[in-house]
Amino acid sequence: MPKGKEAKGKKVAPAPAIVKKQEAKKVVNPLFEKRPKNFGIGQDIQPKRDLTHFVKWPRYIRLQRQRAILYKRLKVPPAINQFTQALDRQTATQLLKLAHKYRPETKQEKKQRLLAHAEKKAAGKGDVPTKRPPVLPEGVNTVTTLVENKKAQLVVIAHDVDPIELVVFLPALCRKMGVPYCIIKGKARLGRLVHRKTCTTVAFTQINSEDKDALAKLVEAIRTNYNNRYDEICRHWGGNVLGPKSVARIAKLEKAKAKELATKLG
């Protein structure tokens, strides 16, 4: 090939021009102006978000949440963990229905009773002594005395007593004395029975003859669930459940260890 002359190659044909579809232009009303928002600090009002995490909750809510998490994270001994095993809903409803018949009288009822008694006495009908109706004894001290004297037929304990040390000994005492006991959800439910805000424990002592069969059935079911299973319940610890962050961290470490081992083995 002579110098100074370049080799002429075949030129590639240019690609056919793509026919672009002409998009119809949107008719924009000039009266509507675009006002883009700037959500930087000190700029526009922020959009609605879920700010639950940043709320300063009341002290009692913070405490109950922290307590719930602590009970999950720490190892809870069986004596305290047994209070998580509450009576099933159906049996609890039957029990409260029966207990409702033996509620202590309110201040108004007592006032009316004494007034009626005074009116009879004033009318000269004589002071006739009336039989005291059976009622539910309440409170830790009263119930403990009844259990020690074996006068209680059934003991009902609330599961959420605070501090739990007030009633932590009662299941062991009931078992030792052979008194059937059960743990029920809600100190407020027991409180409503005895006209208070909350109540730690109540007991059945004397009941009417028409309710003896109903109580016997309840006692049988409760004995099976609590008194007869006491040794088994005392073997189970609670808590020791890790949170999502700890679980993720451990999983990450395990994954790294497995990867390192795989590289060593080749």
Task: Tell me the pLDDT tens digit for each residue of 181-234.
Answer: 999 999 999 999 999 999 999 999 999 999 999 999 999 999 999 999 999 999
CATH topology of domain 82-104+133-233: 60s Ribosomal Protein L30; Chain: A; (3.30.1330)
112 conformational bin, left if phi > 0, alpha if psi -120 to 50, beta if neither? alpha
Q: What is the pTM of this model?
A: 0.75
CA-wise closest residue to 218 among 172, 169, 156, 167: 156
CB 140 within 8 A of CB 201: yes
Per-residue pLDDT of the chain (266 residues; tens, 9 = 90+): 555 555 566 777 777 666 666 777 788 888 888 889 999 999 999 999 999 889 999 999 999 999 999 999 999 999 999 999 999 999 999 999 999 999 999 999 999 989 988 888 888 877 777 788 899 999 999 999 999 999 999 999 999 998 999 999 999 999 999 999 999 999 999 999 999 999 999 999 999 999 999 999 999 999 999 999 999 999 999 999 999 999 999 999 999 999 999 998 87
CB 255 within 8 A of CB 138: no
DSSP code at position 52: G
Give one DSSP letter per residue of 31-98, joined into a string: TS-------STTSSPPPP---GGG----HHHHHHHHHHHHHHHSEEPHHHHGGGSPPPHHHHHHHHHH
